[in-house]
Structure 1
Amino acid sequence: MTKKVVHIITGLSDGGAEGVLTRLCLHSKKARHVVISLMDEGKYGPLLERSGVAVHCLSMNPGMPSIARLFRLVRLIRAEQPDAVQTWMYHADLFGGIAARLAGVRRVFWGVRMSSLEQGKSSRLTRWIAHLSALLSRWVPEKIICCANKAVSVHSELGYQSNKLIMIPNGYDLSRFKADPSMGSKVRKELGLGSGVFVMGMVGRFDPLKDHFNLLDALVKVAEREIDFQCLLVGRGLGAENPTLKERIDDLGLQDRVQLLGQRTDIPAVMNALDLHVLSSCSEGFPNVIAEAMACGVPCVSTNVGDALEILGDERAICPAEDSTALAELIITTAHEWQRNPAIWQVRKSTSSQRIEERYSIDNMVSAYEACWFGTGDRGSRLCAG
């Protein structure tokens, strides 16, 4: 008999956790999946429904939970009668975890996606929920699944029950994220980018944790070296409708160097259009965009956040966070390598895709989650941690 897993997530907008949840539901063969969004259907709700996954939306305001909404969630979980409940991110871990226990579900698994909780970068409510969850972690979840080794250590120090913390790295659909020069050429043609231009980019929503201003400050220093480059910024909030970002770009004199593309649905094609993907974040868990770009054969550089170094496997591609000078030097060194050593650059491209294929396949991720949900506690822990 096929087992059922109910997933509870804050929302289904365009984000890393939402994408991982969707890939997990679509590739898991040992379970039937139901998704409950505390908010709305977002980007991924319709995709899940078209693929046969039931989606329920509660239209909640996660910042103002109510007893009535809690018991509505309890009734919904009880009606689904799941074998396991998997929650995603702090709000859903707390609210969904309690609801699942009240519904009589014994096998509850929390999902932690962040690797830092810093004042001024994470909201006060988020930090409060994380600390409360740490207190409840002894009783509510069976396991706490983190997407990064850094997240395991940070949450252990925060007071989460350390013997329940395990790590499952994200997995990727390599039939979608793969090297395809023809797709990249179409995007470059669309944007008016010639083959002799060094094209870098960053995919990720406009958010203080992504630290786009750090990247812009670095690009000013790159431009001073007379490198012919274009930078594509892709993601929610990165369009012309963002006056704060546009004003910053204009003030720095980068209006002819930076293109704001906003949110797009053809991310694999955009990745293939890049010569280099740059991640300028000041905080991450397991940065999906690095793995997705590498899977497309695109070399990456990143600030040293979350498990970025673990994914990249190359200390030369890492610099400190919130240091625009170090990030600029990293980009400049990489641009010179692209320009002067085409043969070495091709090796770097193929090495990037091979690393993701060997370490971060979707099958490995799905198997690890299924072992946690349905295996014995010890067996699931060993598989997940490995």
Structure 2
Amino acid sequence: MVSKEGKLRVLFISSGRMGDVGYVVRNQGESLIRHGIDLDYLTISPGLKGYIGAVRQIRRRVRAGDYSLVHAHYSLSAFAASMAGRFPLVVSLMGSDAWQGVFMRLMIRFLSAVRWKAVIVKTREMKRRLRLEKAHIIPNGVDTERFTPGDRDEARQQLGFSLTRKVIVFIAGRNRPEKNYPLAQEAVAMLNNDYVDLLYVHSTESSTIPCYLNAADLLLLTSDREGGVNVIKEAMACNCPFVATDVGDIREIAGETEGCFITDHNSAQIAETVRQILKTSARSEGRKRILELGLDSGSIATRISDLYKSILQEYYR
């Protein structure tokens, strides 16, 4: 089904705190809208009560909205959508879904076989870990119009940072132990340099993240595990150098790109790599790599739109 203007109509479903979808889901939705998709959002309140109540809510919205298909993000949102009726359902699984317990992974495999018309995962590791042979690997795209290289001093002045100190940013949500901030702290302490600041950026507006990346000498990521690592792609789009542990799809995305370094979970190795970057003060060549790989949000929107069309052709055959 299409809108009066001949566009595909899609309902995006995801959980959302504070009554709004998360940044990653919003970014993907907006890129699809720019691509010509007629798209609405449905946000599920967190918690068991929210997901149970969402089943009826989804059913009503689908009936009233005359949607071409529904696209659910994260496994719990997909479970709720699966119980809401018969309609073409696409599911995007995120990094956290790959690390669920055995029962949840079994449910994902079962529903992907009997209910979901297509499953999108972010990395090869997710596909392997979830044992979803037919899953489509489509990473999250980065908005290269927002995440663009900028003047370091101007960004620092905007944020109120010193122009002379070395700044390392660690960008992650709060209460996320898998991000392993203590390892970052340990590595930076080993630099034994009073002119280096490690800034833990969290609970800030997403619109300010490009400014932090342009202000920083480097991004530090010390996670124990990841799926698709959005902040790495965002840093690369800004030509911000990074040092990251070997998790998720970072090695594949970085390749041999200048200014992009991957280490073990070893504080001494991390510290030495950070030290070498701080000596040069050079920016990375990350933006060029992002565009070469087609990881900008526009290219990813094209891939998702093409998937929608192929599903609908099969569904209504």
1:1-386 matched pairs, under 5 angstroms: 1-11=6-16, 15=22, 17-29=24-36, 31-39=37-45, 61-64=46-49, 68-99=53-84, 102=85, 104-105=86-87, 107-114=88-95, 117-118=98-99, 128-156=103-131, 160=132, 162-163=133-134, 165-181=135-151, 184-188=153-157, 190-195=159-164, 197-206=165-174, 207-223=176-192, 226=193, 228-236=195-203, 262=204, 265-314=207-256, 317-321=261-265, 323-338=266-281, 345-346=282-283, 349=284, 351-359=285-293, 360-375=295-310
C-alpha displacement of 1:83? 0.8
CA distance in 2 between partners of 1:318 and 1:14 (Å): 31
Structure 2: distance between partners of 1:155 and 1:139: 16
Question: Does the aligned pair in 1 maintain the 2:167–2:199 contact within 8 Å?
Answer: yes
| 2:23–2:206 contact (8 Å) kept in structure 1 | no
* C-alpha RMSD of the superposition: 2.7
The 3 A distance-change label for structure 1 pair 151 and 16 is farther
Give the drift of 1:67: 5.0
Q: CA deviation at 1:116?
A: 7.1
CA contact (8 A) 1:5 1:82 kept: yes
Shift of 1:92: 0.8
How many residues are paired up? 303
Amino acid at match of 1:148: T
Q: Give the Cα–Cα distance (whole angstroms) in 2 for the partners of residues 378 and 309 of structure 1.
A: 36
Q: 1 CA distance for matches of 2:76 and 2:149?
A: 36
Q: Distance in 2 between matches of 1:67 and 1:198?
A: 49
* Structure 2 partner of 1:50: none
Deviation at 1:113, TM superposition (A): 1.2
- Structure 1 residues 139, 112: CA separation in 2 closer, same or farther (over 3 Å shift)? same
Q: CA deviation at 1:272?
A: 0.6
What one-letter code is carried by the residue in structure 2 that aligns with 1:325? Answer: A
For residues 132-184 of structure 1, what are the alpha-carbon distances to aligned partners after superposition, in whole Å with 9 as ceiling and x for unaligned? 2222221111111012222122211xxx4x22x011122222221111106x5
- Secondary structure of residue in 1 paired with 2:60: helix
1:132 to 1:264, Cα distance in 2 relative to 1, 3 A: closer
Q: How does the TM-score come out when normalised to structure 1?
A: 0.71
Contact 1:6 1:85 (C-alpha < 8 Å) held by counterparts: yes
Supply the distance in 2 between the matched residues of 1:377 and 1:66 (Cα, whole angstroms).
Answer: 27
Distance in structure 2 (CA, Å) of the matches to 1:337 and 1:376: 50
List runs of 5+ in structure 1 lacking aligned partners. Answer: 40-60, 237-261, 339-344, 380-386
In structure 2, runs of 5+ residues without a counterpart are 1-5
Q: 1:89 to 1:17 in 2, by over 3 A?
A: farther
> In 2, are the aligned partners of 1:115 and 1:150 still within 8 Å (CA)?
no
Return the offset for 1:336. 3.1
Task: State the 1:208 CA deviation.
Answer: 1.2
8 Å contact kept, 1:27–1:362: no
When normalised by structure 2's length, the TM-score is 0.85
Q: Distance in 2 between matches of 1:169 and 1:67?
A: 29
Are the counterparts in 2 of residues 91 and 129 from structure 1 also a CA contact under 8 Å?
no
CA distance in structure 2 between the aligned counterparts of 1:378 and 1:302, rounded to whole angstroms: 42
For 2:96 and 2:264, the matched residues in 1 are separated by 16
Distance in 2 (alpha carbons) for counterparts of 1:145 and 1:308: 18
**SS at structure 2 position matched to 1:222:** coil
Structure 1 residues 35, 232: CA separation in 2 closer, same or farther (over 3 Å shift)? Answer: same
Tell me, in whole angstroms, the C-alpha distance in 2 between the residues paired with 1:202 and 1:6.
34
Aligned 8 A contact 1:62 1:91 in 2:
no
